[in-house]
């Protein structure tokens, strides 16, 4: 579609205005949109991703702090400004600085995920670990019938989330 203002360039800005209940569409190229004042039409509607994380992590004075990630060489201030970690190692290096923001965003600083419910006060993970220990003992004692039962119980718990 051609720009409705200059009738030369390709229109790459499309706006719909509703005035007194009537809709009017405007199709402009970037140059005409800028000259007519539409270039800033959408500024201030929200923060970019980098700005959002910068606000959450806390703005700094702009100078690179002494701490940097040895894995990627990225400074914490760079992470604050662009909202992106440089590598997985950044999480460990900047853990203390990220902790307050993680708590503010998620309410917790540790990942709890979706854990299966407790059964008789024992988590399923603990139950499976206990069964694996018993399985090792049964194999060491060459009690293969018990070992087979324990193996089946472990499989049932892990495959069905604890439903027997």
95 Cβ contact list (under 8 Å, min separation 6) = none
Full-prediction pTM beyond 0.75?
A: no
Half-sphere exposure in the Cβ direction for 125 (13 Å, CA): 3
Over residues 129-153, the pLDDT tens digits come to 899 999 999 999 999 999 999 999 9
| Structure-model confidence comparison of residues 10 and 110, the more confident one | 10
Can you tell me which residue has the tokens 């018990």?
146
Phi first, then psi: what are they for 119, rounded to 5°?
-120, 115
Q: Is the pLDDT of residue 20 over 60?
A: yes
């Amino acid at each position: 579609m051609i720009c409705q203002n200059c009738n030369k360039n390709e229109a790459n800005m499309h706006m719909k205005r509703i005035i007194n209940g009537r809709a009017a569409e405007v199709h402009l190229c970037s140059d005409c949109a800028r000259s007519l004042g539409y270039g800033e039409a959408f500024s201030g509607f929200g923060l970019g991703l980098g700005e959002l994380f910068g606000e959450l992590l806390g703005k700094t004075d702009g100078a690179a702090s002494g701490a940097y990630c040895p894995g990627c060489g990225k400074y914490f201030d760079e992470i604050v400004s662009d909202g992106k970690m440089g590598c997985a190692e950044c999480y460990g290096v900047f853990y203390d600085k990220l902790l307050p923001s993680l708590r503010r965003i998620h309410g917790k600083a540790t990942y709890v995920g979706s854990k299966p419910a407790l059964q008789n006060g024992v988590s399923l993970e603990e139950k499976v670990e206990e069964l694996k220990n018993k399985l090792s003992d049964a194999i060491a004692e060459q009690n293969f019938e018990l070992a087979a039962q324990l193996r089946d119980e472990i499989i049932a718990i892990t495959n069905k989330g604890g439903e027997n």
